[in-house]
A and B are shown apart, each in its own frame.
Chain A
C-alpha cells in the first residue's frame, strides 16, 4: 500500500493504492456500458483489494461484491479517494 502518496488526488482506478476507498467520478465512453451493467457507475464507492499476478486484473470491491477488472479497463475509470470519515459512512 502506498498511503504516503497522499491519496486525495483524482486518479485512474488503475493507479489507486490498495485499500483506499474512492468514488468513481468518470468513465471513458467506450467502457461505460459494460461497467455500468456491473454496477460501476459514476458516484459509487470502490476500493482495490488486490492485484492478480503478472500484471493481471485488479480485484475491486463494490459493496459486498468483488469484481476482477483488467488493467486497461481500470485505466478508463477516474476515481477520487474518499476522505477517511466519509468512507466509513458510505458503506
Chain B
C-alpha cells in the first residue's frame, strides 16, 4: 500500500461526524473573516465535482447551473480533523483560460476565490484528458491535491491507476475517490487543508522561483521564467497581460511565475497534454473487460435506432408523468387551500381592511394570487424540476441533446435547447432560467422567444378547457398544432432576423449513471425555491393590480380602447379583449375572467362560453391566449435575465405574432 493510500484510510471517517455545513458567504472573493484556509474544488465538467463537493461539505446543493457567474459559486465552511476551512465549488472548466460568453476567464474566478490550496478532481479512467488541468493548477504555484475520482467506473472499465507513482510524478498527493459513495473525499480535502496550512505559514515564497523543469522542455521553462521576471519587474506591455493578473501579482496573491503560466497558456497547454499522455501511460494498468452495461446502453441512446423512438418515449413519458403528478398535487393543494386557508384569509382581510374595494383587491392578491402559486405553479413546476433533475443526472439529457441537435440548428439553437423548451410546457419562468445551459446570449434570447411562444400548463389548460367541451377534442388538438406551427415559423424568422450565428456542437457525453436521490431532490428544490422567490412577489403584485382594476371598474375604458382591434381583427366580442389583456397578469384565469366579464356584460345567460361565442371564436381566442404576450411573471423573468429592453422586445414580438396569427385564423374560420 502506498503512503497516499495509507493516509486516505487514516483520514477517512463518515461525513456526518466530520463536517459542519454552516451556511454560505454571500459571494466569492471576500477574504474569510476567521482566517480559515480556502480550498477551491476544480475539475472538468462531468467528472462528478458537484457530488464530490456535496460529500466534502456534507450538503447537497445545486449551484453551478450557471457556468462562470460568481453568484453561483458556493462557499461552505467545513471542519475536518479539528481544522476549519472554507470549501469553494467552482464551475466545471476545461482549461484555466476557459471563457464563456461575456464572463470572466476561469482563472479570474479561481483567483477571486483566493485559494490556499486546490483540490483538482480528475477522472481516474481518463487521465490523459484530465491531468492537463491538474498541471495547470499546479503551475499556478498553489498547492494541489488530486482526487482520482470515479474510481469505481474506471475499475469497471478495467483501468487501474498506480496512485503512488502518479503522486511522485505530480509531486502532489493523489487520492483514490468515489464521490458517489464518499470514498476518499474527506481524505483528499483534509490533505488540501494540511497543505494550505503549510502555504500560509510563509514557506510559499521559497517554493516558487521557477517552473519545475521536469516535466516541461527546457526552452518552454526558460520562456516562462523570462516572462515571470518581466512581470515581477512590471516590465510588460499591458496589452499582452490582463490587468487582473498584474494586480494579483502586485497583491501577492499569485507569484510572477504563476502569472506567467497563464500568459503563456497557449505555449504550455500542448506540453501539458503531452506530459499527461506520457504519465497516463506510465501509471495506468489496463485489463481486458467486457464494457460495463452503462457504456453499452449509452451507445444506444444516441444511435438513430433505438435512440429516436426512445427519445419520443422519454419525452412523452416525462410530460405525462409531470402532468399526472402535477394534477394530483394541484388537486390536493387546491382543495386544502379552499377548505382551510381561503375562509380564514377572507375573514381576516375583511375585518382588517375597512375599504371594500381595497379589501377585495387585497383578497385577489392573497387568496387568488397565492392559490395560483399553490395549485398551479408549485405542483407543475416542482414535479417538472424533479423529472428534469433525474434526466440530467442520469446522463440521458446530453444524449437527447445530440439527437435533437440538427432539428434545433434550424432555429439557431443547439440540441441542448430541447431541455428548456420542454420545461416551457410546464411553466415559462423556470424554462427561461433553464436557457442558462446555452452558451451565448443570442442562443438564450432565441430560445427564450420560443419559450414564450410555447403554451405553459396554464395556457394549455385554457386551450383545452375552451375547446374540448364546446368544439370537441379534435379542435383542441388542432389548436396545439396551429400554435406549434406559429412557434416554428416565428422561430425560423427570429433566427434569420437576429444578427449573429450559432456555434456548432462539440459536446462531451457523460456516461449513463444512476441518479442519486438526495442530489436530485436538492437540485430540484434549489431551482424550485428560486422560482418561488421570483414568481411569488410578481404574482401577488399582479393580482393586486388586476383586482384593483376590476373592483374599481377602471377596466371598462381599457376594454373600450381595444375593442375595435378585438372585433375587427380577431372577430371576437369586446369582453374577450379585456379578458385577453387581463390574462397578461394570470394566464390560467383567461377563461374564468372571460366568463365573469361576460356575465357582467350580458347577464346570467352568458355563464357558459358557448352562449356568447361560436366555436370558431373560441378557437381564435384559445390560439391568441396561447401565443400572445407572456404573463407578468415571465416578463419579469425575461427582464431579470436580459434587461427590460429585450424583455419588452420579446413580449412585443409575441403580441405581434399572436395578433397576426389570430387575424389569419379568424379569416380562415370565417369569423372576421
Q: How far is the CB of A20 from chain B (nearest CB, A)?
A: 17
From A41, A65, A70, give the contact of B405 (CB < 8 A): A70
State the CA gap A71–B125 with chains docked (Å).
27
Binding-face segment, B22-30, B171-179, B216-224, B506-514: B506-514
From A38, A49, A56, A72, give the contact of B508 (CB < 8 A): A38
Q: Is the CB of B157 within 8 A of A67?
A: no
Nearest to A52 among chain B residues (CB) is: B402
> B304 contacts the other chain (Cβ, under 8 Å)?
yes
> A1 contacts the other chain (Cβ, under 8 Å)?
no
Q: Is the CB of B505 within 8 A of A73?
A: yes
Nearest to B308 among chain A residues (CB) is: A53
Within 8 A of B (CB), among A39-67: 39, 41, 49-57, 59, 62-67
What mask results when residues 373 to 413 of chain B are scored 1 for a CB within 8 Å of chain A, else 0?
Answer: 00000000000000000000000000001110111000000
State the CA gap A57–B304 with chains docked (Å).
11
**List of A residues within 8 angstroms of B126 by Cβ:** 63-65
What is the total of A-B residue contacts with beta carbons within 8 Å? Answer: 91
Within 8 A of A (CB), among B493-510: 504-509
State the CA gap A62–B128 with chains docked (Å).
10
Q: Is the CB of A53 within 8 A of B304?
A: yes
Q: Is the CB of A50 within 8 A of B303?
A: yes
From B299, B307, B509, give the contact of A67 (CB < 8 A): B509
State the CA gap A72–B308 with chains docked (Å).
22
Nearest to A71 among chain B residues (CB) is: B504
From A39, A57, A59, A73, give the contact of B129 (CB < 8 A): A39
> A35 contacts the other chain (Cβ, under 8 Å)?
yes
Nearest to A51 among chain B residues (CB) is: B304
> A84 contacts the other chain (Cβ, under 8 Å)?
no
> B94 contacts the other chain (Cβ, under 8 Å)?
yes
**List of A residues within 8 angstroms of B125 by Cβ:** 64
Q: Is the CB of A37 within 8 A of B94?
A: yes
State the CA gap A62–B406 with chains docked (Å).
22
Q: Is the CB of A56 within 8 A of B405?
A: yes
State the CA gap A73–B504 with chains docked (Å).
7
Q: How far is the CB of B580 from chain A (nearest CB, A)?
A: 38
Q: How far is the CB of B361 from chain A (nearest CB, A)?
A: 53
How many chain B residues have a CB neighbour from A under 8 Å? 32
Q: Is the CB of A67 within 8 A of B406?
A: no
Within 8 A of A (CB), among B112-132: 125-126, 128-129
From A37, A51, A64, give the contact of B157 (CB < 8 A): A64
A36-B269, A38-B94 given; A67·B507 CB < 8 A: yes
A39-B129, A53-B406, A56-B405 given; A65·B508 CB < 8 A: yes
Q: Is the CB of B94 within 8 A of A52?
A: no
State the CA gap A69–B125 with chains docked (Å).
22
From A36, A52, A67, give the contact of B403 (CB < 8 A): A52
Nearest to A37 among chain B residues (CB) is: B94
> B425 contacts the other chain (Cβ, under 8 Å)?
no
Q: Is the CB of A65 within 8 A of B302?
A: no
> B560 contacts the other chain (Cβ, under 8 Å)?
no
Q: How far is the CB of A63 from chain B (nearest CB, A)?
A: 6
Nearest to B414 among chain A residues (CB) is: A70
> A11 contacts the other chain (Cβ, under 8 Å)?
no
State the CA gap A82–B313 with chains docked (Å).
39
Q: Is the CB of A57 within 8 A of B405?
A: yes
State the CA gap A55–B405 with chains docked (Å).
9
Q: Is the CB of B506 within 8 A of A52?
A: no
Q: Is the CB of A54 within 8 A of B509?
A: no
Nearest to B405 among chain A residues (CB) is: A56
Q: How far is the CB of B578 from chain A (nearest CB, A)?
A: 45
Q: How far is the CB of A48 from chain B (nearest CB, A)?
A: 12
**List of A residues within 8 angstroms of B308 by Cβ:** 53
Q: Is the CB of A73 within 8 A of B506?
A: yes
Within 8 A of A (CB), among B90-117: 94-95, 98
Q: Is the CB of A63 within 8 A of B504?
A: no
A52-B403, A63-B129 given; A57·B505 CB < 8 A: yes
A37-B95, A59-B302, A73-B505 given; A68·B405 CB < 8 A: yes
Q: Is the CB of B95 within 8 A of A50?
A: no
**What are some 21 contacts across the A-B interface (CB < 8 A)?**
A38-B506, A39-B273, A41-B273, A50-B302, A50-B303, A50-B304, A52-B302, A52-B304, A53-B308, A54-B407, A56-B405, A57-B405, A59-B299, A62-B129, A65-B509, A67-B507, A68-B405, A68-B505, A70-B504, A71-B504, A72-B504
* Interface set of A (CB-CB < 8 Å, partner B): 34-39, 41, 49-57, 59, 62-73
